[in-house]
Structure 1
Amino acid sequence: MDILRLPTALRSSLLRQPAVQRLLHTTTYGAPHNDVPPPALPAAPALLTLSSSTLNSYQVGLVPTSTHLRFANAYFTAAPPEYLFTSPYFRSFPPSSHPEVAFLGRSNVGKSSLLNALFGRPNMKDAHVSKRPGRTRTMNGFGVSGGLALGAAPKEAQREAVWRRFPRGGCVVVDMPGYGGGSREIWGREAMKYLESRKQLRRTFVLVDAEHGLKRTDVEFLTHLRRRGIAHQIILSKADKLLYPAARPPGPLKLNNGLLKLRDLCGTIRSTLNEEAGGRDAMVDILCCSAEKGLDERSRHRRLGIDEVRWAVLTACGLECDENGARKKGLSQDIKILEEEEE
């Protein structure tokens, strides 16, 4: 009972009673008995830290584990890439028994730097790096063997002999000419012939500059790939421009804010592509990486997000490892040599 809610006369009479006065020495009145403590404030959300799931946006593929990433790193760095071919025309591509992936994007989007980092040779010139847009004018193939030994060299000294030596269990990375400003129309025609007709092609990786986002040519190109049913994946290059543009890695709060910016950018890209496709959902993974910055000060030689790109290449080619990190056997032996039709 709350004494303060009683009429004044009755309350005064009760307070004069000895029993009530003794009770007042041990009980405090004034607050309603049904009052409850105010609800606790919700805990502040934890800051995002750098991981495969926070750096990238997966909708189709599974998030790679640390075992997967170690395998991908070892596969690409076990041996230098093998230069296999250069071709200005699709009709001159050699027949091959190896799965292929293609890398392309707008001119000067950082594709050559990314490929050199992918091969574990960021300071080398396997893929030519240039400040001048449109420097890549041909389609260039590099073989990644995962450390498997090359076969015996044929007797005749022919460039085509490299294909006979390159081991099963490897894959071919094709460096494509850039599109957009600085590129010629004929390069685009030949590139599209390759993307639409090459039977060995398993996936096309389209680079987009993370700092500048989608350009109109990117939207048109990605929409075309989608309409033609060409398997593709988006890579946001130069992601370090958003995560830590300064020389030193960011603190926890700045890293959190940078990862949120990347997340918002991925959402904007999907919304733009969905709108271009008439509102249909574009289920596509978006990887984020940097060919310049390392994961942290202790591992500068491992570039940001590059191992995730390596893993995406291996899964596209069916060369991923098992759950224990061991190379799968027999997968690549089933690939048949597919001759291309003359254009």
Structure 2
Amino acid sequence: MTELAVQFTAHLNCTSRCPSEMNVMRACSVLRPVVLLGPAPWRRAHSLASFHQASQLPKKKFQHLLFPQSALEAHLVRGAGGMNLQLFQPSDEDIARAEKLFIPSPKHKIDYSFSAVRMEHALPISQPEVCFIGRSNVGKSSLIRALFSLAPDVEVRVSKTPGHTKKMNFFTVGKAFTLVDMPGYGYKAPRDFVDMVESYLQTRRNLVRTFLLVDGSVGVQEADRVAIEMCDEFGLPFVVVLTKIDKGSKGVLLTHLLQVQEVIEKRTTCCYPQPFLVSSTQFSGIHLLRCFIAHVTGNILLTSDAKGS
């Protein structure tokens, strides 16, 4: 176990004791309205789940839905204009094409695959894989449910109780990629969290990107800093995603966004320069994140210079 893992374990033990408009019409022709096949889904898709539906919004609202960072630009003109807030800028057509990966069809199954508590229990997979990690109750499962909202038969269990996810849960997106929902760290983390996650991150050869979630309403916590250092120490390409951006004021969100940007710039070498902002309830940033996942897993080539490495 690495020194950082030891720090993580110590921290876990301690906390466990404490209670853009770019040719929308063309893009919409790429993606027709969603038609759900098969039996009645167990839940309804979000009203803004598809790009076609979202494009019906007024121009400004549509822009802020796709790129929630743009809503903060006016506050960043003085003193923070150099921030990497919109480094990844795919075209509307890119976003629409990427969305197709998240729509099931008879030849493109999207479903829960299996769970594992040890790497030896995880089935070997050759297709690209992405994983989501974050503190307990950061909104990880809610975000994954939002990403899969166009596949409403896919059950991603969401609980108000921290620490609900106890295993590594694997979701297969056809032959395109696999998404892994990892247990949360911090309060209510499983006892074997460090062994489980460290082993996965170090040995999973088809892992192409790790998404590290930070609660946008509370900012970077000590456990988040340790997790960020661990990803960087392992040399893992990772991305920071700020969740729950609808909670609290813009001022609070901006403060935490500046904090995250500083951590990325000064304390990481493997982290993507742009933090992503999402709201699983208002659907802000979900379309952009889908496109980024589709791009980094090698499933779409961007038509624009989106700087998505």
State the TM bucket, normalised to the shorter chain.
0.5 to 0.7
Instruction: Please say if 1:98 is aligned against 2:98.
Output: no
Q: Which amino acid aligns with 1:289?
A: V
Change (3 A) 1:323 1:204: same
For structure 2, the residue ranges without an aligned partner over 5 or more in a row are 1-59, 73-82, 305-309
Out of 246, 267, 281, which is 2:258 matched to? 267
User: Is it true that 1:144 corresponds to 2:160 in the alignment?
Assistant: no
For this pair of structures, how many residues does the alignment match? 229
Q: Which residue of 2 aligns with 1:107?
A: 136
1:67 aligns to 2:47 (yes or no)? no
In structure 2, distance between residues paired with 1:59 and 1:186: 36
Contact 1:139 1:174 in 2 (8 A): yes
Question: Does the 8 Å CA contact 1:106/1:218 hold for their aligned counterparts?
Answer: yes
* Alpha-carbon spacing, 1:321–1:273, altered in 2? closer, same or farther (3 Å): closer
Equivalent AA in structure 1 for residue 133 of structure 2: L
- Encode CA deviations 1:53-99: one digit per residue, 9 max, x unaligned: 62697479531221111122222124462221111101121111211
Deviates more, 1:261-270 or 1:109-118: 261-270
Contact 1:55/1:305, CA 8 A, preserved across alignment: no
Q: Quick one: which of 158, 170, 175 aligns to 1:129?
A: 158
Is 1:239 the counterpart of 2:245 in the alignment?
A: yes
Among candidates 231, 252, 276, match of residue 287 of structure 1: 276
Q: Secondary structure at the match of 1:140?
A: strand
Alpha-carbon distance in 1 for matches of 2:195, 2:270: 28
In 2, Cα distance between the equivalents of 1:321 and 1:55?
27
1:84 aligned residue: 113
Match of 2:298 among 309, 312, 318: 318
Can you list the C-alpha shifts for 1:83-142, whole angstroms capped at 9, x where unaligned? 211111011211112110001100011111111110125976622111111111111111
AA at the equivalent of 1:54: S
1:103–1:204 CA contact under 8 A, matched in 2: yes
For 1:58 and 1:311, the matched residues in 2 are separated by 18
Amino acid at match of 2:259: T
* 1:202 alignment counterpart: 208
Off by >6 Å, runs of 4+ in structure 1: 122-125
CA distance in 1, matches of 2:160, 2:151: 16
- Over the matched positions of the two proteins, sequence identity in percent amounts to 28
Report the counterpart of residue 31 of structure 1 in structure 2: none
**For residue 237 of structure 1, what is the amino acid of its counterpart?**
T
Deviations 1:275-333 (A, max 9, x none): 556xx89653210111111xxxxxxxxx2111111112112211114529xxxxxxxxx
Q: 3-state DSSP class of the match of 2:228?
A: helix
Structure 1 residues 273 and 323: CA distance shift in structure 2, 3 A: closer
> 2:21 matched to which residue of 1?
none
The separation in 2 between residues aligned to 1:198 and 1:118, in whole angstroms, is 23
Using the TM superposition, give the Cα deviation of residue 188 of structure 1 relative to its aligned residue in structure 2, in angstroms.
Answer: 2.3
Structure 1 pair 58–66 and aligned structure 2 pair: CA distance change class (3 A): farther
Corresponding residue of 1:217? 223
What TM-score comes out, normalization by structure 1 length?
0.60
Q: Secondary structure of 1:185's match? A: coil
Amino acid of the structure 2 residue aligned with 1:268? Q
Name the CA shift for 1:58/1:271 in 2 (closer, same or farther; >3 Å): closer
Residue 267 of structure 1: how far off its partner (Å) = 2.1
Question: Structure 1: how far apart are the matches of 2:181 and 2:124?
Answer: 17
User: CA–CA distance in 2 between the matches of 1:128 and 1:84?
Assistant: 14
SS in 2 for 1:109: coil
Structure 1: tracts of 5 or more residues without a match: 1-46, 146-166, 244-257, 294-302, 325-343
Residue 70 of structure 2 aligns with which residue? Answer: 54
Given the superposition, is the C-alpha separation of residues 66 and 121 from structure 1 closer, same or farther in structure 2, using an over 3 Å criterion?
A: closer
Give the structure-2-normalised TM-score.
0.66
SS of the equivalent of 2:131 reads strand
Q: Contact (CA 8 Å) 2:240, 2:276: kept in 1 or not?
A: yes
Verify the 8 A CA contact 1:137 1:177 in the aligned structure 2.
Answer: yes
